[in-house]
Structure 1
Amino acid sequence: MLAEPADQQKLLNLADLDAEMGRLQHTARSLPQHQRIAELMAERQSVADSLVEATTIVDDLGVALRRAEADLVPVRARLERDRTRVGDGSISDGKTLKGLIDEVARLERRVNELEDAEFEVMARLEDAESTAKEMSARRDEIEATLRDEVGIRDQKVKGLSTEAQGVTAARKGVASTVPPALLVMYDKIRAQRGLAAAKLHRGRCTGCQLEITVADLDSYRKAPANQVLRCVECDRILVRTADSGL
Structure 2
Amino acid sequence: MKADPKDQQRLLDLQAIDTTLQQLAHRRKNLPEIAELDVLGKAIGRLEDERARAEVDVDDLDRDIARLEREVDTVRQRSAKDQQRLVDGRLPARELTALEHEIASLARRQSELEDAELELMEKRETSQAALDAVDEKISVAREKRIAAENRRDNSVSEITKEAEWKQNARRPLAADLPAELVQLYDKIRESSGGLGAALVQYGRCGGCRLELFGADRNRVKSAPVDEVVRCEECRRIMVRTGESGL
Q: How far off is 1:98 after superposition?
A: 4.0
1:135 is aligned to 134
Instruction: Give 3-state SS (helix, strand or coil) of 1:199's partner.
Output: strand
Instruction: Give 3-state SS (helix, strand or coil) of 1:208's partner.
Output: coil
2:97 pairs with 1:123: no
Q: Which moved more, 1:118-127 or 1:100-109?
A: 100-109
Amino acid aligned to 2:28: A
Gaps of 5+ in 2: none
RMSD between aligned residues: 1.9
Amino acid aligned to 1:237: I
2:173 is aligned to 174
Q: How far off is 1:90 after superposition?
A: 5.3
1:4 is aligned to 4
2:64 is aligned to 64
2:225 is aligned to 225
Could you tell me how far apart the structure 2 residues matched to 1:57 and 1:175 are?
A: 67
Q: Deviations over 1:121-145 (max 9, x none)?
A: 2122222222222222222222222
2:34 pairs with 1:34: yes
1:23 is aligned to 23
Q: Deviations over 1:151-202 (max 9, x none)?
A: 1111111111111111111111211111011111000000100201011111
Instruction: Give 3-state SS (helix, strand or coil) of 1:176's partner.
Output: helix
Gaps of 5+ in 1: none
Instruction: Please give the residue correspondences for 1:48-59 in structure 2 after superposition, counting only pairs within 5 Å.
Output: 48-59=48-59
Q: Which moved more, 1:43-52 or 1:12-21?
A: 43-52
Q: Deviations over 1:76-111 (max 9, x none)?
A: 233344455557765562x54443333233222211
Amino acid aligned to 1:222: S
Instruction: Give 3-state SS (helix, strand or coil) of 1:16's partner.
Output: helix
Amino acid aligned to 1:2: K
Q: How far off is 1:219 after superposition?
A: 1.3
Q: How far off is 1:8 after superposition?
A: 0.6
Instruction: Please give the residue correspondences for 1:138-149 in structure 2 after superposition, counting only pairs within 5 Å.
Output: 138-149=137-148
Could you tell me how far apart the structure 1 residues matched to 2:95 and 2:217 are?
A: 125
Could you tell me how far apart the structure 2 residues matched to 1:208 and 1:32 are?
A: 30
Q: Percent identity of the aligned residues?
A: 36
How many residues matched? 245
Amino acid aligned to 1:189: I
